[in-house]
Amino acid sequence: MPTPILVSDALVAISFGTNKQLGASPVPAAPTSAYECQARSVSVSIESRTVDATTICSDNEEPLETRTGGTLNLELYVDKTTGPIFLQKTGYLCSVKVTLGTTGGSVHTYSGLVTNAGTTLTRDGDIQVETATIQLGGFANTNAPVA
């Protein structure tokens, strides 16, 4: 049986395209450390879209992958000096590097379009959490994890 992955921390580095997505703004080649923070949670869903390429007399299904896509959902602890990172960046292309664990953890990089952002303040007013949804796979960007 596989050993479960135990993660004590997830660090996130984020970089954005130069302007609001108009089909011309590029996705950054690699995340910079311009925005770096701890994640409360990271959720990734990647799917493969297919068409049926079965011939008329075939007994087998022949799915043909046409594209991949998915979403990256983040909950981040907001740094009081940096402020919310995604709140003014909906519609921007971005690249996100997720490092699982503080030392020696695996690293995954995702690229996509910021489609949703929000912030939440806890009841005590001490901790602010930011949420963001990134649509993966747009504009021929790879969304598969890169080790």
Q: Answer whether residue 131 shows pLDDT above 80.
A: yes
Residue 72's pLDDT band (cuts 50, 70, 90) = very high
Selected residue with higher pLDDT from 23 and 37: 37
Cα angle for residues 107, 111, 116 (degrees, 5° grid): 110
| CB contact set of 39 (below 8 Å; sequence gap of 6+) | 10, 11, 12, 74, 75, 76, 77, 98
Q: What's the mean pLDDT in 115-124?
A: 82
Q: What percent of the chain has pLDDT over 90?
A: 7
Cα of first residue to Cα of last residue in the chain, in angstroms, is: 23
CA–CA separation, 70 and 103 (whole Å):
28
Selected residue with higher pLDDT from 23 and 44: 44
Buried b (16+ CB within 10 A) or exposed e, 103-127: eebeebbbbbbbeebebeeeeeeee
List of domains in the chain: 10-46+68-140 (2.40.10)
Q: Report the range of poorest mean pLDDT among 61-75, 88-102, 132-146.
A: 132-146
CA–CA separation, 64 and 56 (whole Å):
15
Question: What is the tally of helices (H) and strands (E) in the chain?
Answer: 0, 6
Mean pLDDT of the chain: 75
Q: Answer whether residue 140 shows pLDDT above 50.
A: no
Torsion, Cα 18 133 102 17, to 10 degrees, reads: -10
